[in-house]
Amino acid sequence: MKHVLLMVALSLAALGCTAKEVSVHDPVMAKQGDTYYVFSTGPGITFYSSKDMKNWQLEGRVFKDQPVWAKKAAPSFDGHIWAPDIQFHNGQYYLYYSVSGFGKNTSGIGVTVNKTLDPRSPDYRWEDKGMVLQSVPLRDDWNAIDPNVIEDGKGNAWLAFGSFWSGLKMAKLNADWTALAEPQEWRAIASRSRSKSVADASAGPDEIEAPFIFKRGEYYYLFASFGLCCRKGDSTYNVVVGRSKEATGPYVDKNGVDMLKGGGSLLIAGDKDWKGLGHNSAYTMDGKDYLVLHAYETADNYLQKLKIMEMTFDAAGWPSVDQADLNKYRSVQLPAK
């Protein structure tokens, strides 16, 4: 009997070592009923479903074809839709997304809407509402990518976004959450130093992007990614955080430094096993707080992988995660049905 149990254990261990993990960039997560969904950067926006946040079924793409407006906003758009954000509002799911060309601010943010996230439901149908805002080289010193929507205490929705250039911004949305409110209201929420000698059309060395605002208790927490992504072992991406009692800021770090002046307290960075940690989202689900992000595994030629880590908050209300959870959390991509 012991021999049989040993063989079973070894078989399970071997299966665990060879199981394919979920490979994603820029993951965001939602829960409908008893099912979790992860959406990520990819051709048409790749998405997965799971019952336990560990075993994930690839569901396919949100867009079968590229958004009709994409090439006009981003002439070098190659079909990969970047950095989605999923929100539930007024009985519908809003999926914000961005199109761009790498290193350029020929970019636009759009939104598509659905009654359900379940692709097997008869009500499942994404309806693209088009472009919400656009950045144009030499006209704008910001980049219209990496959207995230947060609702303030007055019922107003704010679209946070930005990458490099002059930093992270937010703009107020209309009541339908599908366009900017008029008259337009804008805020700058985070930035890093930008030399006046940097050409306006250049992203420059201002390594900040991927805003995500998470409401917990009396605070709004602004997460951002500092550093460089997408460079395998040379990736320096890391996650920083600041907080404010207002959705529109100002956001300050643990030392009281405004994120508009380069502030941001380190939440998690890479180590010898994992590089390029970043482009996170954050949620309260099932009574726990979670940080969702991607990381590049050193032992797997720096392949990007899904990470879901529990967040805890100290007595002063600042979040933390356990670095050891990077190795403990291992997703499983289930075989195609």
Cβ pair 94, 84 in contact under 8 A: no
3-class SS of residue 62: coil
Cα 45 → chain centroid: 12
Cβ pair 110, 100 in contact under 8 A: no
Cα 125 → chain centroid: 23
pLDDT for residue 89 is more than 50: yes
Is 26 a residue of the active site? yes
User: Tens digits of per-residue pLDDT, 236-255?
Assistant: 899 999 999 999 999 999 99
pLDDT for residue 316 is more than 70: yes
Higher-pLDDT residue of 281, 166: 281
Instruction: Mention every residue, 6+ apart, whose C-beta is less than 8 A from residue 218.
Output: 245, 317
Mean pLDDT of 215-234: 92
Other CB atoms closer than 10 Å to residue 228's CB: what's the count?
Answer: 15
What backbone torsions phi and psi does residue 70 show, to the nearest 5 degrees?
A: -60, -50
Q: What is the DSSP letter of 70?
A: H
Q: What is the DSSP letter of 166?
A: T
User: Tens digits of per-residue pLDDT, 30-42?
Assistant: 999 999 999 999 9
Distances (CA, A) of 108 to 73, 98, 264: 6, 6, 26
Cβ pair 116, 124 in contact under 8 A: yes
Cβ pair 263, 202 in contact under 8 A: no
Is 246 a residue of the active site? no
Q: Which residues pair with 78 in a beta bridge?
A: none
Q: From the candidates 21, 85, 206, 209, give the one annotated as an active-site residue.
A: 209
pLDDT at 138: 85
3-class SS of residue 5: helix
Per-residue pLDDT band for 11 (boundaries 50, 70, 90) equals very low
Q: 67: cis peptide before it, omega within 30°?
A: no
Higher-pLDDT residue of 54, 140: 54
pLDDT at 105: 86
What is the 3 state secondary structure string of 141-160? CCCCCCCEEEECCCCCEEEE
Cβ pair 94, 113 in contact under 8 A: yes
- 298 token code pair: 């050193």
Q: 183: cis peptide before it, omega within 30°?
A: yes
User: Tens digits of per-residue pLDDT, 90-110?
Assistant: 999 999 999 988 778 889 999
pLDDT for residue 14 is more than 50: no
Measure the CA angle with vertex 7, ends 5 and 12; round to 5°. Answer: 95
- 209 token code pair: 């992007």
pLDDT at 126: 98
pLDDT at 201: 54
Looking from the CA of 305 toward its CB, the CA atoms found within 13 Å total 25
User: Tens digits of per-residue pLDDT, 281-303?
Assistant: 999 999 999 999 999 999 999 99
pLDDT at 204: 53
Output the pTM of the full model: 0.92
User: Tens digits of per-residue pLDDT, 54-80?
Assistant: 999 999 999 999 999 999 988 889 889
Measure the CA angle with vertex 324, ends 259 and 284; round to 5°. Answer: 55
Q: β-pairing, 303-313 with 92-99?
A: unpaired
pLDDT at 1: 42
- 257 token code pair: 């430094």
Cβ pair 86, 93 in contact under 8 A: yes
